[in-house]
Chains A and B, each alone.
Chain A
Amino acid sequence: MTQAITTVAGTGAAAARAPVTEQMTDDFDSFFRSRTPALLRTAYLLTGDRHLAEDLVQDALARTFRMWQRLADGGHPEAYARRVMYHLQVSFWRRRRVAESMPGELPERHDRADYAEATVERLTLRRALLALPARQRAVVVLRYFEDRSEAETADILNCRVGTVKSHTARALSRLRELMPEIELAAGVDR
């Protein structure tokens, strides 16, 4: 499981800030402490790599921090951070780096129900996800991990519901090819 955050204090730049900026930074720190673990989990599914996931969250939170004054006053910082994260992840410039870690052959599946098998299953899923184009992977994560509706997914990815449907269909079809043992028929249906 993702570890809890106990402290994030002590960054050097925090030493001499104006009162308003300090308050803003404190608010952001609170947000950072509470929401970063969840963002990292999503980022890991999007990138398939711990370091890339941290980089992705770092970039998303940096943009969120820059928008903090607006977001803190009635906005929804986490929604903004997630939206930025998804958009950054499907952008070419970041995707180029992810491409370097694309997987080779999928591991063979073993039938023994033990810890090793669970590990293999996770590895298989991770690699299968990485075999999807970035936007299809984002749709899978939004629909099946975050449990978002098609309309919500379309809104976050700034595309039409029809596009979400086609991405979902293609992604599931590909996942079925790569992981025939997994049950994909009963997905989110809203």
Chain B
Amino acid sequence: MNELNDRLADLADEMTDTDYTALRGRVETTARRIGQRRVAGTTAAALALVGLLGIGGLQLAPQGQRHPLPPAASQTASEPPTPAPTTPAATTTPSAPASPTGSAPANAALSHVPGRLVYLRVGAEIEVVTVTDGVARTTSFGPRKLGDQVATVAPDGSRVALVRPAKDVSEYPGDLVVVQPGGARKVVRQGVSWGGGTGPAWMPDSRRLLVGVTTLEGDVATGESYGYVDAVTGRYDKLGITAFPSYLSWSANGAYRVHADGDSLVVARPDGTRVRKVSVAGQPECDRTGECPSSVQAVSDDGRYVATGLGSGDPTRVTRARFVLDTVSGKRIDLPSKLRGGVEEIFFRPDDTLVVQTSDHLYLVGLDGTVTATIERPESTNQADLAAYRR
């Protein structure tokens, strides 16, 4: 044990004179209060969602995709979260990939992942690496500055958004900064929240971000609103929602979005029409670690499959996908055993097969767990996070 270990132990010894009986009582009171708060919050959010849908349901629609709700939309949202038989998801046959590149023999010799992979690397410099049909291109977005937090790249790789907290305090709301290739920065909104799954989320149009904006009086938060910020003009369009859709993620084709709602995943159309809600509370990690796989990282084009990581609403943001869940059956897709533990990111191809990133390889994996192609990870993407994939 070195000197720091010893000194920390000595310092910890100062923690004496606790009234454990009183503390035990306070624990129980707090536990009860948390329960009441969660029930109230869930009820309020549900009422808000139903209300919004009832008055037009234009929430979270990507640009160019806003349209009036279908007649049954309000009813769909307020019904129990059962699979919707008319959705594309329900008619998809996972075992029959549409793309010819999904078959094992044809892909065995692939040298690259078909389509476009977008990586973000935040080191001394902020860099976006795009790999388009195997051709890598690295673009600098300038130096990383002290205080930059939660950098995210637009799905098309054209911009990077990050938050610079107004104080050097974890999760203190800050300026939403949009960074252009080369490093030009522009503050487009102040007071933006960035903790956990509630940080700025890019819309599929790669132009707008959904954000939570905290109103502060001194150091005290007095309110929060949610809305879109235009990354170019800074225009803020406030939405009438009462809670941020945590870990909001879109399918690559923009047809579906999924977010976490406690221990459940909510699959919805872009206009907010709920397609289904599936609980992940029965997943083994919930019992084993107390954290359910609810942090959404990617969504298949038909909205049926979701790549998630562990997440329980704690303040830090989860960026790693570990599981693929079938939101129709509620079951998980078995990933090949050789990948377990090493998976960094998972995205979906149009035929619902998977692109799985590990530290040194990319794998194309079928929904039956078969690895159909193993591809060396492009060297230029080392230490970078795979942020988006589009065929």
Contact = CB atoms under 8 A, between A and B. Distances in A.
Interface of A: 1-3, 5, 7-13, 29, 32-33, 36-37, 40-45, 50, 53-54, 57-59, 61-67, 70-71, 73-76, 79-80, 83-84, 87-88, 90-93, 95-96, 99, 118, 121-122, 125-126, 129, 133-135, 140-141, 144-145, 147, 157-160, 162, 175, 182-187
A40 B290 contact: no
Contacts of A2: 12-13, 15-16, 18
B290 A61 contact: no
A93 B314 contact: no
Contact of A144 (B8, B18, B219, B288): B8
Nearest to A133: B168
Contacts of A11: 21, 24-25, 28
B172 to A, nearest CB: 5
A1 B13 contact: yes
Given A66-B31, A76-B289, A96-B169, A57 B5 contact: no
A96 B219 contact: yes
A95 B8 contact: no
B217 interface: no
Contact of A32 (B27, B221, B287, B317): B27
Given A90-B170, A125-B7, A159-B316, A74 B287 contact: yes
B20 A184 contact: no
A86 B234 CA distance: 35
A99 B169 CA distance: 8
B319 to A, nearest CB: 8
A121 B16 contact: no
Nearest 6 CB-CB pairs, A to B? A92-B171, A62-B30, A87-B314, A41-B12, A91-B315, A44-B15
A50 B290 contact: no
A95 B171 contact: yes
B20 A8 contact: yes
Contacts of B118: none
13 contacts: A32-B27, A63-B31, A65-B31, A67-B290, A70-B290, A84-B314, A88-B315, A95-B170, A99-B169, A144-B4, A182-B4, A183-B3, A186-B2
A160 B31 CA distance: 31
A182 B3 contact: yes
B23 interface: yes
B23 A54 contact: yes
Contacts of A162: 383
B195 interface: yes
Contacts of A43: 15
Contact of B34 (A62, A144, A159): A62
A157 B196 CA distance: 11
B135 interface: no
Nearest to A84: B314
Interface of B: 2-5, 7-18, 20-21, 23-35, 168-173, 195, 219-221, 286-291, 311, 314-319, 383
Nearest to A123: B11
B20 A41 contact: no
B34 A54 contact: no
A182 B27 CA distance: 37
A99 B314 CA distance: 20
Contacts of B26: 58
A98 to B, nearest CB: 9
A40 B15 contact: yes
A114 B27 CA distance: 39
Given A50-B17, A54-B18, A157-B316, A125 B24 contact: no
A142 to B, nearest CB: 11
Given A5-B20, A70-B287, A76-B289, A93 B15 contact: no
Contacts of B317: 158
A13 B30 CA distance: 12
B14 to A, nearest CB: 7
Given A58-B27, A126-B11, A133-B168, A183 B4 contact: yes
Contacts of A182: 3-4, 7
A118 B10 contact: yes
A148 B3 CA distance: 16
A127 B289 CA distance: 34
